[in-house]
Amino acid sequence: MATNVTEADRSAIESFQERVFEAALGTFRTYAIYLGDRLGYYDALAAEGPSTAVELAAATGTNERYAREWLEQGAVAGLLTCEDLDAPAADRRFGLPAAHAAVLTDPESLDYLASLPRTVVGALSPLQAVLDAYRTGEGIEFHAFGEDMHEGQAAMNRPLFVNELGTEWLPSLDDVDARLRNGGTVADVGCGHGWSSIGIARAYPEATVHGIDADDASIERARENAARSDAGDRLSFTHADAATVGGEGTGSYDLVTAFECVHDMSDPVSVLASMRALAAPDGAVLVMDERVGASFDPDAGPVEELMYGWSVFHCLPVSMVDDGVGTGTVMREATLREYATTAGFSDVEVLPIENEFFRFYRLTP
């Protein structure tokens, strides 16, 4: 151990120790929120108000002792309130502040973020496979990340898709908006659980939307979600590799979309080429992907740090499957332009749609 540590060195060491400690606390908070979401604790507290561990356990069909520990951890972490600190442990009542309930209990609200911890847990679930991938250079199939990743990712984008996609984003494209209002057709590539397709169909009552995804389980969930929506008769879904889609729909769609999925693809050029082929001669191709900097910058900030987090554990391994190109989450504008040009597009326009996390591109055949 070094003995000539200066005062400045000691300060830097202690500062970094504090960051590591805070990271560990953040990890435990993330997993505790995950537990509360998955066990229905937040919904119960929001519905019933401040509750004892016995009451919460009874309302959720869980064990009282475990519920008490979770409640106490939540209060210490500042996630929950405790009304009566001096009461016996079994009698203490814990509450969910209204502001916290807004973030944790309404899956279609733009304030909702309980999906973020679930997605993080899912991204980290095949950790041994990720370690192996880093050693071998192989990829990890999307389905290997399990339900938490798939459900969490779908839930993260759901509020945006059902609230803003058809009311703000697409209406900003005058020609696209007009076509869809007059009964246009949409091919939604990489549709996942279908919330983007549902959002478009809800906003445009005359339009029909066809979702395409390579993950069979996601397509099944998309069909289930569509069946529960009020636009189900104008929605259809196909399990297929978008890179090979063609046939009957080729050259006929007014709008072809790919929302937050191009960076995950092993062969994005082939998929973009298929999207170009699906669009009508005067149709539009729209890609939404992560809003990252034009070039690597260690001072890029927390949003880009978050994007690298997804990439390190999930998106890069998924994009490496089948000797994939390995794009990863941090797909910069120049990279998409290169893919689009190779796929046969003549131009890429960055659209003036404001969003902290996503950038929108219109690709011209």
Residue 110 lies inside a defined structural domain of this protein: no
**Same domain flag for 148 and 79:** no
Give the rounded percent of residues in the chain with a pLDDT score beyond 70.
Answer: 98
Count of structural domains, the chain: 2
107 or 7, greater pLDDT: 107
Q: Which of 73, 105, 137 is the last residue of a domain?
A: 105
Residue 40 lies inside a defined structural domain of this protein: yes
**Same domain flag for 163 and 216:** yes
- pLDDT tens readout for residues 57-113: 999 999 999 999 999 999 999 999 999 899 999 999 999 999 999 999 999 999 999
**Same domain flag for 99 and 199:** no
Overall average pLDDT of the 213-231 stretch: 94
**Same domain flag for 95 and 206:** no
Residue 130 has pLDDT above 80, yes or no: yes
Q: Which of 75, 105, 135 is the last residue of a domain?
A: 105
Q: Which of 105, 130, 154 is the last residue of a domain?
A: 105
Overall average pLDDT of the 344-361 stretch: 96
**Same domain flag for 126 and 84:** no
**Same domain flag for 100 and 125:** no
Residue 280 lies inside a defined structural domain of this protein: yes
Overall average pLDDT of the 306-321 stretch: 98
**Same domain flag for 82 and 145:** no
Whether 327 contacts 258, CB under 8 Å = no
**Same domain flag for 61 and 155:** no
Residue 101 lies inside a defined structural domain of this protein: yes
Q: Where does the pLDDT of residue 8 fall: very low under 50, low under 70, confident under 90, or very high at 90 and above?
A: confident
Q: What is the CATH number of the domain that holds 11?
A: 1.10.10.10
Residue 233 lies inside a defined structural domain of this protein: yes
- pLDDT tens readout for residues 20-57: 999 999 999 999 999 999 999 999 999 999 999 999 99
Q: What is the pLDDT of residue 245?
A: 79
Q: Are strands 253-259 and 279-290 parallel, antiparallel or unpaired?
A: parallel
**Same domain flag for 14 and 98:** yes
**Same domain flag for 288 and 251:** yes
Q: What is the CATH number of the domain that holds 170?
A: 3.40.50.150
Overall average pLDDT of the 119-135 stretch: 97
Q: Where does the pLDDT of residue 4 fall: very low under 50, low under 70, confident under 90, or very high at 90 and above?
A: confident
Q: What is the pLDDT of residue 244?
A: 84
Range of the domain at 43: 7-105
Residue 115 lies inside a defined structural domain of this protein: no
**Same domain flag for 183 and 74:** no
Q: What is the pLDDT of residue 2?
A: 53
Q: What is the pLDDT of residue 189?
A: 97
**Same domain flag for 197 and 296:** yes
Q: What is the pLDDT of residue 177?
A: 97
Residue 111 lies inside a defined structural domain of this protein: no
Whether 77 contacts 32, CB under 8 Å = yes
Whether 243 contacts 274, CB under 8 Å = yes
Q: What is the pLDDT of residue 175?
A: 96
Q: What is the pLDDT of residue 232?
A: 84
Q: Where does the pLDDT of residue 246 fall: very low under 50, low under 70, confident under 90, or very high at 90 and above?
A: low
Residue 333 has pLDDT above 80, yes or no: yes
pTM: 0.93
Residue 214 lies inside a defined structural domain of this protein: yes
Q: What is the pLDDT of residue 247?
A: 57
Return mean pLDDT, the chain.
95
* C-alpha torsion sign, points 48, 54, 58, 63: positive
Strand order in the sheet with 347-350: 235-239, 208-213, 185-189, 253-259, 279-290, 358-364, 347-350
Residue 336: Cβ-neighbour burial (10 angstroms; 0-12, 13-18, 19+) = buried
